[in-house]
Amino acid sequence: MKIFGLIAVLVVGALLLSATSDFPDWRDKDSPANESPVSSFYIEKTEKLTKVPNMVTAVLADYRSYDTMFETVVIFIAGIGIIAVLRNFDGPNSSSIKRENNDEGGGLLARFTCSLILPFIQIFALYVVAHGHHSPGGGFQGGVMLGASYILAALAFGLSKAKDIFSERRTMIFAAVGIFIYVGWGVLCLLFGKEFLNYEALDPILPGDAKMARSHSMLIVEIGVAFTVTAIMFSMYSNLSTRGRLSKGL
């Protein structure tokens, strides 16, 4: 078995290595990918048309917003899939037992340090979400950081304490609300008489001109993405670390 695998891998690798000599040079600014009209359009016109200096966020949330919408749906479905595969509803009612032996979570030093650092992590995550179209960041990064802050709380203070803040029911409601914000914003564009997710339609209800409407809409959409990603990351951790029982963390 091993030798066949090695032969297959070597054949594939040799073919690909022989193909690399035909690639354009690394850092070549005249290569076909960098000369293509699509990326030239994004670089030259994005700031004029949307008033967003970060091209990556603009392309992610505006030009390719269908892609991002269904990617958020993929994350949501993955979270539901983990619950469907792993969640174990029968078994002892853990919440009453858990309160008595309070030995999970870290020691005194870990608890104290985490209680100091958690607010800053969460504020920075919100900043990353809100400032994503002027600096690196956006809904995915900020959402993952916010989810990671709850994971840190679960590691330091125990999963039951984190569950008090962010219960399973609340997690799934958050995840659904994120997608609802995203899709609802697209439907709002339909109601104003333009295409689905064409943000210029929302000019009458948003401050600024039509270009600023696109910029503001990106913020709303990123907030929706951040809701879903936060909830699913925390749900993923809490299910995987307890084998679906949600009773005792790491």
Partner 1 sequence: MIWQFDIIILIFLVIAAIISLRLKDLLGASMVFGIYSFLICLLWAEMGAVDVAFTEAAVGAGVSTVIMIATVFSTKRRSKD
Partner 2 sequence: MDPIIATFIEENIVPNFNYWIYVILMMIGLYAMITKNNLIKKLIGMAIFQTAIILFYVSVGVKDAANIPIISHHGSEHHQMTDLSSETDSTKEIHNTIDKDKYANPLPHVLMLTAIVVGVSTLGLALAISQKIYKSFGTLEEDEILNKLRPGGHD
Q: Which residues of this protein are in contact with partner 2, per CB under 8 A?
A: 1-2, 5-6, 8-10, 12-13, 16-17, 20-21, 23-29, 31, 33-34, 36, 38-40, 42-44, 46-48, 53-56, 59-60, 64, 67-68, 71, 74-75, 78-79, 81-82, 85-86, 134-136, 140, 144, 229, 232, 236, 239-240, 243-244
**Residues 166, 150: contact at Cβ < 8 Å?**
yes
**Residues 231, 82: contact at Cβ < 8 Å?**
no
Q: Is 210 exposed, middle or buried (0-12, 13-18, 19+ CB in 10 A)?
A: middle
Least distance to partner 2, CB of residue 247, Å? 15
Q: Which two tokens stand for residue 68?
A: 């991002």
Q: Which of 151, 213, 218, 231 binds partner 1 (CB under 8 A)?
A: 151
Torsion 66-68-74-75 (CA) sign = negative
Q: Please, which residues have CB within 8 angstroms of residue 75's CB and are 6 or more apart in sequence?
A: 228, 229, 232
Between 129 and 202, whose beta carbon lies closer to partner 1?
129
Q: Which of 15, 18, 27, 191 binds partner 1 (CB under 8 A)?
A: 27
Other Cβ atoms within 10 Å of 39 Cβ, number? 13
Residue 1 interface partner, choices partner 2, partner 1, none, CB cut-off 5-8 Å depending on type: partner 2
Determine, following the binding rule CB under 8 A, whether residue 57 of this chain makes contact with partner 1. Answer: yes
Other Cβ atoms within 10 Å of 240 Cβ, number? 12
Determine, following the binding rule CB under 8 A, whether residue 162 of this chain makes contact with partner 1. Answer: no
Contact footprint for partner 1 (CB under 8 A): 27, 54, 56-57, 128, 136-138, 140-141, 144-145, 147-148, 151, 233, 236-237, 240-243, 250
